[in-house]
Structure 1
Amino acid sequence: MPTETIGEYEIEYSGIQLPDSEDWGASLAIYGPSCNPMHRNDIFPSQRVAVDTVFHTEQEAEAEARVFAISMIEKGRKKET
């Protein structure tokens, strides 16, 4: 599961193979800042995103989950200003 830090957020994104299918879904979790380094503050719990879309490869699903995460983080930053 790829993990990436964008600003103060940590994202985990992955492709999950769909049941009884060769296709993949996109999964994402976003963690925000925490005052305790031993605790992760999940602000977007792990779940499937882009639920109306199936992907032919795991890499395509991961890429879509990452795009979704960046979009959510940017929207959150705009609300803060």
Structure 2
Amino acid sequence: MPIEYIGEYEINYSGVPLALVKGWGAYLTIYAPSSNPMHRYRVFPGRRVSVCSVFGSEAEAEAEARKVALAMLALGKHH
């Protein structure tokens, strides 16, 4: 699972094999810092994004999840 830091946010994205169809789903979690250094505040819970899309590879699904994260952070839609 790739982890990337953008500003104060930590994004975790991954490609996960789908159970009912052949292909990969794009999954994303976004964290923000909290006042407790041992804790992260989850502002976007881990879930599948671009749910109508099935990707041919794990890398394609990861790229889609990253693209969604960047768009959400740019638009402030993570809260």
Task: Give the TM-score normalised by structure 1.
Answer: 0.90
Cα offset for 1:27? 0.1
Structure 2 unaligned regions, length at least 5: none
SS of equivalent residue, structure 1 residue 26? strand
**1:64 alignment counterpart:** 64
**1:74 alignment counterpart:** 74
Give yes or no for the alignment of 1:46 onto 2:33. Answer: no
Give yes or no for the alignment of 1:5 onto 2:5. Answer: yes
**2:55 alignment counterpart:** 55
Greater helix proportion: 1
Structure 1 unaligned regions, length at least 5: none
Percent identity, please. 58
Runs ≥4 in structure 1, deviation > 2 angstroms? none
Worse-superposed segment, 16-25 or 65-74? 16-25
Cα offset for 1:20? 3.9
CA deviations over 1:2-32 (Å, ceiling 9, x no partner): 0000001000000010004330000000001
Task: Give the TM-score normalised by structure 2.
Answer: 0.92
